[in-house]
Structure 1
């Protein structure tokens, strides 16, 4: 198989490229900077210089490819809506346009459970739950719109599938975990309501397993949740992740009601006045990490043969070993 990968220099993209190489597949990875070129090359892909702004350039890279894995997205906790829309919606539109023009047969889009965020609880949610008309936050709304567009263009000649991993984690995380570690070290970390609620999670290796299966077996026009299996207590899981990085989160906590007030005011202040930096917490973040968010991956297990082969315990051990090795090299 020959694959074209967007977002290849990111956390999920690097692991996907390595898995493709291990299987004997070849991949081209979109790279828009020298740092991205180095990252995708190190992971095992041939870099293709360009970005999501040029459908014609994307078509050149996709020529001769069997499948496109679209994992590029703007996932910052706070950004201008225009930036989210350009990256997540318009970027996806160009990827779809290029893939169809290049004659690619299959496309796997990396979506998120956040597309369902509307203020109501996400408890054992599955793919039958419709996307909300009014998602809370620009990230959920633009990712939801991107997913809609991906699945709507599915046809007999162009199969499109979306995967929705929940809370991707693991060794080499360059997004969520570093922010948590920084918050702990700076004294800003607080549990919401004590943190003793359930969450689904998805190790990056399990995410990649699901992506590869979706490319092979996914039904066109369908979305699939991906998780590590049974939910875990959020506080227990996050504590274990942080301790693997040599930090302890402590017992500081904020009531959910107070956090909701702070989040609402923050969204208003940053949205209206364009304040610099990132807000203390947004409503989107609060709804994704401040109470139970659990989803069912039964559909992926039944239709794709997905197993989620990386157990949490082994994933956490890998993170601890990696941290110790990096600390040893830095000493």
Structure 2
């Protein structure tokens, strides 16, 4: 299958590219820079120049493919609502040229279930989710199932971990290193679901190959790791104390990242495992932290 992949040089997307090629698929990756294009060629993929703002380029890439995997997202936390609108327009553009073809279209979402709910694949996107800016994109993807597209959504957890991770876990480590302590908010009894990037990449491939139209796919290995266990692992990795920060002081200690540290999410992937015969094989989050690569000198978060 000739597969058009957006975000193909990113942390998740680059693993998806390798997974697809390892399974015998032909990959065409979207590249907005010379560096991204070079990385794709080095991986053995073809290059399609453009970005999420170039809707004509997205349409051309999708139209020429047998299937599409959309992993790109502009993580501009200074205006995240605008990033959600860009994502929605990108999905609408690619979906418009896939209508009536029966081709697979796999997009990326977050955990959009109602806060405090143990989320399953059957839970529709909820405006009170932790990422309301992605609700419209998920709904637009699933609506394509009624227009002749085998559309599905992969919901990623807060921590997609593994070597070269530059997001949430490295941000926690950066804060702990800078403050000299690894902290939780209050007792840290909240939870983070997690998945290894290589297990997530394999799930994208399985969704492309087998997911039914209009389904949600949960990329979940750890259903919910207690945050105090994550903080403890970071404290051990850095050799710093683990402390509790009162909720009223969280913003002063963690800055803008306090919102994410306070997330309390638990979710299941039972239906995903049954439907797609997916079983995570890589280390879980705490085992990945114990391997030590997150604490290598010079490693920092890009957030």
For structure 1, list consecutive stretches of 5 or more residues without a partner in the other structure: 264-278
Alpha-carbon offset, residue 95 of structure 1: 2.5
Cα distance in 1, alignment partners of residues 70 and 290 from structure 2: 27
The equivalent residue for 2:256 is: 281
Cα distance in 2, alignment partners of residues 33 and 210 from structure 1: 27
Alpha-carbon offset, residue 145 of structure 1: 0.9
- Contact 1:89/1:142, CA 8 A, preserved across alignment: no
Deviation by residue 1:105-137 (Cα, 9 ceiling, x = unmatched): 110111111x23x5x314x3212333224546x
Q: Does 1:79 align with 2:78?
A: yes
- Contact 1:160/1:221, CA 8 A, preserved across alignment: yes
- Contact 2:67/2:105, CA 8 A, preserved across alignment: yes
Q: Which moved more, 1:246-255 or 1:59-68?
A: 246-255
Cα distance in 2, alignment partners of residues 215 and 174 from structure 1: 26
Instruction: Choose from 148, 151, 154 the match for 1:160.
Output: 151
Alpha-carbon offset, residue 89 of structure 1: 1.8
When residues 325 and 178 of structure 1 are mapped into structure 2, their CA distance, relative to the original with a 3 A threshold, is closer
Deviation by residue 1:276-309 (Cα, 9 ceiling, x = unmatched): xxx9136xx63x5325311010110111111112
The equivalent residue for 1:274 is: none
The equivalent residue for 1:209 is: 202
The equivalent residue for 2:269 is: 297
**3-state SS in 1 of match to 2:170:** helix
- Contact 1:214/1:304, CA 8 A, preserved across alignment: yes
When residues 254 and 206 of structure 1 are mapped into structure 2, their CA distance, relative to the original with a 3 A threshold, is same
Instruction: Choose from 116, 122, 134 the match for 1:121.
Output: 116
Alpha-carbon offset, residue 228 of structure 1: 1.1
Trace 1:25-36 onto structure 2 (pairs within 5 A): 25-36=25-36
- Contact 1:241/1:316, CA 8 A, preserved across alignment: no
Alignment RMSD (CA, Å): 3.1
The equivalent residue for 2:23 is: 23
Cα distance in 1, alignment partners of residues 80 and 195 from structure 2: 27
Cα distance in 2, alignment partners of residues 295 and 149 from structure 1: 22
When residues 164 and 81 of structure 1 are mapped into structure 2, their CA distance, relative to the original with a 3 A threshold, is closer
Cα distance in 1, alignment partners of residues 85 and 61 from structure 2: 21
The equivalent residue for 2:176 is: 184
Cα distance in 2, alignment partners of residues 291 and 142 from structure 1: 16
When residues 60 and 174 of structure 1 are mapped into structure 2, their CA distance, relative to the original with a 3 A threshold, is same
After superposing on structure 2, the runs of 4+ consecutive aligned residues of structure 1 that deviate more than 6 Å are: none
Alpha-carbon offset, residue 147 of structure 1: 0.4
Q: Which moved more, 1:142-151 or 1:38-47?
A: 38-47
Alpha-carbon offset, residue 233 of structure 1: 2.6
Cα distance in 1, alignment partners of residues 39 and 2 from structure 2: 19
- Contact 1:184/1:248, CA 8 A, preserved across alignment: no
Alpha-carbon offset, residue 159 of structure 1: 0.6
- Contact 1:108/1:215, CA 8 A, preserved across alignment: yes
- Contact 2:122/2:216, CA 8 A, preserved across alignment: no
For structure 2, list consecutive stretches of 5 or more residues without a partner in the other structure: none
Cα distance in 1, alignment partners of residues 19 and 177 from structure 2: 34
> TM-score, normalized by length of structure 2?
0.84
Cα distance in 1, alignment partners of residues 86 and 28 from structure 2: 20
Q: Does 1:144 align with 2:144?
A: no
The equivalent residue for 2:217 is: 224
